[in-house]
Amino acid sequence: MDFKIKKATPEKFKTDALILPVFEDTTLGTSAATLSATTKKALENALAQGDIKGKAGEVQILTAVTESAAKRIVLMGLGKATEQTESGLRKALAATASALKSTAAKDAALALDDIQVGERDAHWVARQAVELFEAAAYTFNAFKSKDNHKLVSLKKVTLLTTTDPKAVEQGAVIGKAIANGMNYARDLGNTPPNVCNPSYLAQEARKLSRGCPTLTTKILDEKQMAELGMNSLLSVGNGSDTPSKLIIMEYKGGPKSQPPHVLVGKGITFDTGGISLKPAPDMDAMKWDMCGAASVFGTMQAVVEMKLPMNVVGVVAAAENMPSGKATRPGDIVTTMSGQTVEILNTDAEGRLVLCDALTYVERFKPASVVDIATLTGAIIVALGPFASGMMSNDEAVVADLQAAADYTQDKVWRLPLWDEYQALLDSPFADIGNIGNAGPKAGSITAACFLSRFTKAYPWAHLDVAGSAFNGGANKGATGRPVPLLTEYLLRQVKS
């Protein structure tokens, strides 16, 4: 989708669909009131009919409005004019973009001047608008027949403002880069596992760096990983015919001496649970067990598109967890790259087994910070649902930056503790550490992060458990592209600091 910025008032703007904010108590915004005055009070009359109350997320589309330059007037409810909220605006923009999909409108214009969300500026509003319109327009039809392709008519959105067009333009540029990264992550997540395997992800990494002088890609195969002692990562892919890969993408946009910020993604391209086999219902959703890796790819694409003046390393631990005669068994003990031994008590707790070796590997970069992203535990879905990613960390500065990025982007996180009491639940009588807690399902997300923390003592680190936020199940199933907005904003804040 193409986004334009125009310093103009909306009443004379020619477009297929002019989007105007309205508020509760049948209140028109300034832009809508100005237009209504030239259209024989058409908008007041529409509100008076009661089909739209102005609540956040309500949308009404008017056609053939007298004296209007626009073919359609789209009334977008924002709630109370004096109490506009971030969540209310996001709900309104998403609903409006979705409503326009059902029309034949090829272009639209959104009047921004009446949108006043607390201390959020025009830059922030523009970012939200671009991200949400792009998200609504997303389709994944790569594996459907041509007759089943359903294309969205809307191709261009103009952001109208009379106050700060430069800020709007800057916000739109960043929003577009983030949206493109989210769509890339969604594409990878939605690609079926018979196509998207570790080798496919390696090819995607090479493709991403092709023609980009600031991005280089390195792929470690199983022999190279074995030489490094990455037996934990390799154990996960033992049962698969598809070889595991460690994918390293280095973006060098800053000074050579500048320590990089590192993103590490769990890339389990399909997770049967291994010998600890998952139940059959909904196992198809386990193609999304690589959404942590997908978010690393999406964020790296956004970084490249924005040409950020910093150094970033994206690492993906890619494997397929399958049952076979060669598969790792519960009770096996493996030696990690760090030298620590792990008793594998449940082969379905495999994400931490690939991540721990990747987290040891990245020590060589002497990172400024490391954030790992993983669909790690079902327990986080029980705790937080689909609304927030779980966050655990060994560094308060990283926590503060991630929390600020989450608040700004509305890609939400919630911090959980890593107390010593939880660490003790990982004790094993036969190895240095067990791969699951010995108290059953209790505190499953926390004990998983405690496991990872054993391998992150050399640098500031945070863990994001995105099992609830990275994909949707049910009728609207599919990858969401999260937490690309959060990760990208986190990196932007490192540039600013």
Which residues form the catalytic set? 278, 352
Structure tokens given for 142: 């790569």
Query: Do residues 283 and 323 lie in contact, with contact meaning Cβ atoms separated by under 8 Å?
Result: no
Q: How many residues does the chain have?
A: 497
Query: Do residues 469 and 387 lie in contact, with contact meaning Cβ atoms separated by under 8 Å?
Result: yes
Closest by CA to 457, choosing from 374, 373, 367, 381, is 367
Rounded to the nearest angstrom, the gap between the alpha carbon of residue 455 and the centroid of all alpha carbons in its chain is: 25
Whole-angstrom Cα distance, residue 310 to residue 127? 21
Structure tokens given for 467: 């099992």
Query: Do residues 65 and 39 lie in contact, with contact meaning Cβ atoms separated by under 8 Å?
Result: yes
Query: Do residues 172 and 128 lie in contact, with contact meaning Cβ atoms separated by under 8 Å?
Result: no
Query: Do residues 243 and 300 lie in contact, with contact meaning Cβ atoms separated by under 8 Å?
Result: no
Whole-angstrom Cα distance, residue 491 to residue 312? 8
Whole-angstrom Cα distance, residue 159 to residue 173? 12
Buried b (16+ CB within 10 A) or exposed e, 18-27: bbbbbbbebb
For residue 72, give every residue at least 6 positions away whose Cβ sits within 8 Å of its Cβ, in sequence order, or none. 16, 17, 18, 61, 62, 63, 103, 105
3-state secondary structure of 138: coil
A 10 A CB-CB count for 71 gives: 18
